[in-house]
Amino acid sequence: MMPHGTTSGGHSRPEDPDPVTVAEDLASVTPAAKHARTNALWAALAAPGVIWLLLFFVGPLYVVLAIVFGRTDPIFRTAIPVWNPLQWNPSQFNYVLARIFGADGVFGPALLRTAVYVVTAGVLCLLIAFPVAYYTARMSGRWKGLLLALLIAPFWISYMMRMLAWVNLLQDDGLVNRLLSLGGLFDVRVHWLTGQPLVVILGLVYGYVAYMILPLYAGLDRLPQSTLEAARDLGASRVASFWRVTLPMCRPTIIAAVLLTCLPMLGDYFTSDMLSASPRTSMAGNLINDSVQSPGQTGQAGALVMLVLLVAVLPMFYYVRSTARGDLSS
Amino acid sequence: MRSPVTWWNDPWRPPRILVGVTMAYLAWSLIPVLIAVIFSFNDGRSRTVWQGFSTRWYFGDPVKSVWHDATLHTALLQTLKLGVITTLITVPLGVMFAIGIDRWRGRLPAGANMLMLVSFVLPEVLLAVALLFVVTSLSLPVGLGTGAQVLGLVTFQIAYPAVLVRARLATIGTQYEEAAMDLGASPLAALRRVTLPMLLPAIFASTVLVFADVIDDFVLVRYLSGTSATEPVSVKIYNSARSAPTPALNALATLLLLAALVAVTAGYLVYRRLTRGDTTTDRGLAGFAGEG
């Protein structure tokens, strides 16, 4: 049990409270003391989770900082974390910044490419996800259950398996090339898997679009049908009622869905690795992955992690704030 | 038969383009996977040319089938092991966290809630690199391998049960618990005998979702795996997909798919059973997937 607060009844607490005295006790405490007591109960329930997140979520992010601004062992090339922020040395961070923006900016193109890929893939995802979610939520009728089951399928089919499926199809002698050659009519020998930006972008769309459909579905499913019918009854055309009623009403959902889809893409390296394996399509995630795996570049990897985190932090907090608000209003 | 003009002017006409986009999307999203599954039954070594049906890549081939190749079936076992251990830790932790955060008033729980939501949207690779640094540069009792993988997965997944249970708590409201306490139950007893039974469907759904998500995880488990003995299926696929693998790789992926399918289907059936006669829950798939 929780430590008992001061009770107002004035009677002394028995060492081993039996149920009857506890009930009397509860009846005699002031509401404030009772409130404090139950509050302590809720705090105790939440404590393990909070401690876990502090230890294994906040803690590791601090370790990254300590390594980025720490030293490197001159002989073994291993990173030595420096815990005191006053002794932090920005040389590794500056080195990475120089390689992004400086004259020998080898990281710059990859970061720019990441932005282009993620924005393009995000737009394509929305173009696919919105009609699909809209149809499923509002028009599918008795097919809704089946459709939903099929839309959820990509969630439990492993991402790697879905990429493997495309690796098989896009081989030089794969089904895609054979389909394009129309049974040997044309000689199609497209090397899809050797650094084609389009393939990587479509791979990202393929991998992530399901994560956009489901939140959009939930938002569109909640739209009141009567409001939309009212718009049509009052003379709005299909397009006008969509543009002036449906879209404004689900704008928060759209933004949340786009963020949920695009934020994970920022750290994606495996889609590019699986579908292109060429530095011509490497993204921010590839820079991180490559430097994590080469000895002596730990600090560099950490600096890149911090940079991606910095880019992601604003949209992330926007998402978190709007979600937390939604919690309060519901 | 209606004339095209009447059809065009019908205000409630189902938009054909939406039907088209939806069907095309479903075909695009599912047929490639289906083809990969079919080729796991291919009789030859090719993953692109059909050479007849066989189960040689599952157990027939004495060297390279999933059953006989130790590197393949250890990966499958490691995946399932991680799924079970992580789920067993994550779900109680997340449920307690959600209930506590929901009722505990103050600035601290609001901050903890923010932290949980951030862990939900943070790009996974960032957490994976951070945890890799922790394990390799600090002397911890947990080394790379199953232990570190579980630590990382629990951290990444804890938001799942927390979000689902909080959503359910919001729909239940506080009236049932208050009624129980008015009738003399302590807060803990009201929680145990009134709220928890009502949360059971949400808890169960999150159990299934966490398991299905963990066995598909790639980024965290790859960085935190020590040797090839602790590399799960996803990492195995990533490592060998581009280096001329046999259809045994497809067979391995198909088995994982099957495990997830069984877990999700069985989970959904039990969920329907748990919510039988319950009008406050969305009993459909959307409710099960936490979007209700």
CATH number, residue B270: 1.10.3720.10
- Closest chain A C-alpha to B30 CA, distance in angstroms: 8
Q: How confident is the model at residue A51 (pLDDT cuts 50, 70, 90)?
A: very high
pLDDT of residue B31: 92
Measured between CA atoms, the residue of chain A closest to residue B101 is: A46
Q: How many CB atoms lie within 10 A of CB A116?
A: 13
Task: Assess contact for A162 and B33: CB atoms under 8 A.
Answer: yes
pLDDT digits (tens, 9 = 90+) for A186-204: 776 778 888 888 999 999 9
Q: Do both B191 and B49 map to the same domain?
A: no
- Looking at the partner chain, which of B32, B127, B170 has a beta carbon nearest the beta carbon of A169? B32
Q: Is the ipTM of this complex over 0.90?
A: no
Residue B101 lies in a domain: yes
Distance CA A196, CA A200 (A): 7
Query: What is the residue whose two structure tokens read 């002031």?
Result: A30
Query: For residue B36, what are the domain limits?
Result: 15-54
Residue B5 lies in a domain: no
Alpha helices, H only, A83-196: 91-101, 108-138, 144-156, 159-169, 175-180
pLDDT of residue A30: 61
Average pLDDT, chain A: 79
Please, what sign has the CA dihedral across residues A183, A187, A192, A196? negative
Q: What is the CATH number of the domain that holds A113?
A: 1.10.3720.10
Is residue A184 scored above 60 in pLDDT?
yes
In one-letter notation, the amino acid at residue B276 is: R
In this complex, do A193 and B101 lie within 8 Å of one another by their Cβ atoms?
no
B216 touches chain A (CB under 8 A): yes
pLDDT of residue A28: 52
Residue A99 lies in a domain: no
Mean pLDDT of A221-250: 83
Residue A72 lies in a domain: no
**A79 φ, ψ (degrees, to nearest 5):** -80, 140
Measured between CA atoms, the residue of chain A closest to residue B236 is: A160
List the beta bridge partners of residue B53.
Answer: B42
Q: Do both B177 and B239 map to the same domain?
A: yes
- The whole-model pTM stands at 0.83
Q: Do both B78 and B49 map to the same domain?
A: no
Q: Which residues of A touch B18 (CB under 8 A)?
A: 131, 134-135, 139
Residue B6 lies in a domain: no
Task: Assess contact for B83 and B215: CB atoms under 8 A.
Answer: yes
Task: Assess contact for B216 and A159: CB atoms under 8 A.
Answer: yes
Q: Do both B244 and B218 map to the same domain?
A: yes
Distance CA A71, CA A83 (A): 11
List Cα–Cα distances, A209 to A25, B122, B141, in angstroms: 57, 18, 40
B162 touches chain A (CB under 8 A): yes
Q: Print pLDDT tens along chain B (292 aa).
A: 567 777 666 666 667 788 888 889 999 999 999 998 988 888 888 777 788 788 878 887 777 787 878 888 888 899 999 999 999 999 999 999 999 888 888 888 888 888 888 888 888 888 999 998 888 877 777 778 888 999 999 999 998 899 888 888 888 888 888 888 889 888 888 888 888 888 888 888 889 889 988 988 899 999 888 887 888 888 888 888 878 778 888 888 899 999 889 988 888 888 888 887 776 666 777 777 765 4
Q: Which residues of B touch A149 (CB under 8 A)?
A: 285
Q: What is the secondary structure of A222-277 as a DSSP string? A: HS-HHHHHHHHHTT--HHHHIIIIIHHHTHHHHHHHHHHHHHHHHT--HHHHHHT-
Nearby residues of A45 by Cβ (< 8 Å), 6 or more positions away: B96, B97, B99, B100, B104
Q: Do both A9 and A137 map to the same domain?
A: no
Please, what sign has the CA dihedral across residues B82, B84, B88, B90? positive
Torsion of CA B261, B262, B263, B268, to 10 degrees: 90
Q: Do both A11 and A144 map to the same domain?
A: no
B151 touches chain A (CB under 8 A): yes
Residue A126 lies in a domain: yes
- Looking at the partner chain, which of A128, A193, A270 has a beta carbon nearest the beta carbon of B238? A270
Q: Which residues of A touch B291 (CB under 8 A)?
A: 214-215, 217-218
- Closest chain B C-alpha to A69 CA, distance in angstroms: 13
- Looking at the partner chain, which of A154, A160, A163 has a beta carbon nearest the beta carbon of B29? A154
- Looking at the partner chain, which of A144, A151, A160 has a beta carbon nearest the beta carbon of B237? A160
CA angle B114, B115, B117 (to 5 degrees): 65
Q: Do both B91 and B229 map to the same domain?
A: yes
- Closest chain B C-alpha to A170 CA, distance in angstroms: 9
Q: Which residues of B touch A147 (CB under 8 A)?
A: 22, 26
In this complex, do B26 and A285 lie within 8 Å of one another by their Cβ atoms?
no
Residue B85 lies in a domain: yes
Q: Do both B106 and B47 map to the same domain?
A: no
Task: Assess contact for A73 and A295: CB atoms under 8 A.
Answer: no
Distance CA A309, CA A317 (A): 11
Nearby residues of A240 by Cβ (< 8 Å), 6 or more positions away: A231
Residue A192 lies in a domain: yes
Distance CA B15, CA B8 (A): 10
Q: How confident is the model at residue A5 (pLDDT cuts 50, 70, 90)?
A: very low
pLDDT of residue B154: 94
Task: Assess contact for B284 and B272: CB atoms under 8 A.
Answer: no
Residue B174 lies in a domain: yes
Is residue A232 scored above 70 in pLDDT?
yes
In this complex, do A323 and B218 lie within 8 Å of one another by their Cβ atoms?
no
B130 touches chain A (CB under 8 A): yes
Tally of structural domains, chain A: 2
Mean pLDDT of A156-176: 86
Q: Do both B277 and B172 map to the same domain?
A: yes
Residue A73 lies in a domain: no
Q: Do both A27 and A146 map to the same domain?
A: no
Q: Which residues of A touch B250 (CB under 8 A)?
A: 164, 168
List Cα–Cα distances, B268 to A312, B201, B290, in angstroms: 34, 10, 12
Taking the CA of residue B238 as centre, how many other CA atoms within 13 Å lie in the half-sphere pointing to its CB?
22
In this complex, do B30 and A60 lie within 8 Å of one another by their Cβ atoms?
no
List the beta bridge partners of residue A79.
Answer: A72
Residue B59 lies in a domain: no
Nearby residues of A106 by Cβ (< 8 Å), 6 or more positions away: A99
Measured between CA atoms, the residue of chain B closest to residue A308 is: B126
- Taking every pair of Cα atoms in chain A, the longest distance, rounded to a whole number of angstroms, is 97
Distance CA A52, CA A59 (A): 10
Taking the CA of residue B259 as centre, how many other CA atoms within 13 Å lie in the half-sphere pointing to its CB?
21
Is residue A328 scored above 60 in pLDDT?
no
Q: Which of A21, A42, A291 should one mutate to test binding to chain B, selecting the residue with the greatest count of B CBs within 10 A?
A: A42
Q: Which two tokens stand for residue B192?
A: 């145990």
Strands (E), B4-111: none
Query: What is the residue whose two structure tokens read 């540069």?
Result: B137
Query: For residue A254, what are the domain limits?
Result: 107-329
A22 touches chain B (CB under 8 A): yes
Q: Do both B75 and B48 map to the same domain?
A: no
Residue B8 lies in a domain: no
Tally of structural domains, chain B: 2
Distance CA A267, CA A251 (A): 26
Q: Which residues of A touch B16 (CB under 8 A)?
A: none
pLDDT digits (tens, 9 = 90+) for A64-122: 888 888 777 667 667 777 777 777 777 777 777 777 777 667 788 888 899 999 999 99
List Cα–Cα distances, B154 to A190, A317, B261, in angstroms: 43, 22, 22
Residues 15-74 of B with CB under 8 A from A: 15, 17-19, 21-22, 25-26, 28-30, 32-33, 35-36, 39, 47-49
In this complex, do B216 and A159 lie within 8 Å of one another by their Cβ atoms?
yes
Label residues A224-256 b or e (16+ Cβ within 10 Å = b).
eeeebeebeeeebeeeebeeebbeebbeebbeb
Q: Which residues of B touch A141 (CB under 8 A)?
A: none
Strands (E), chain A: 71-72, 79-80
Q: Do both B49 and B83 map to the same domain?
A: no
